[in-house]
Amino acid sequence: MKIELIVSGVCPFCLEAEKVWRVVAADHGCEFAVLDIAQPEGAALAHRLKLQAVPALLIDGTLRAVGVQSPEEAITLLKTARHEAHDRI
């Protein structure tokens, strides 16, 4: 699974979210990327999703959450995404 976190370099909450998701992604064998809205790729994705706030979380290209999740909430989001992906097969 691919986890993408859209952040802003000036957002104190984004750093906290990145710490949580970096650990969860590593523990669960997921690809992890941080996209800053100040960079072209992050800005384009935020625009396409019409994001109004960051941090924003995508799992396999689907917007799953905005804000900072606890490690437990992050694991639940990941398990839900895996379950939904499995159901599509």
Per the document, the length of the chain is 89
- Report CA Rg, the chain: 12
CB 3 within 8 A of CB 25: yes
- The burial of 73, by beta-carbon neighbours within 10 Å (0-12 exposed, 13-18 middle, 19 or more buried), is given as middle
pTM score, whole prediction: 0.93
pLDDT score for 87: 76
Q: Which domains does the chain have, with CATH numbers?
A: 2-88 (3.40.30.10)
pLDDT digits (tens, 9 = 90+) for 19-62: 999 999 999 999 999 999 999 999 999 999 999 999 999 999 99
5 secondary structure, DSSP code: E
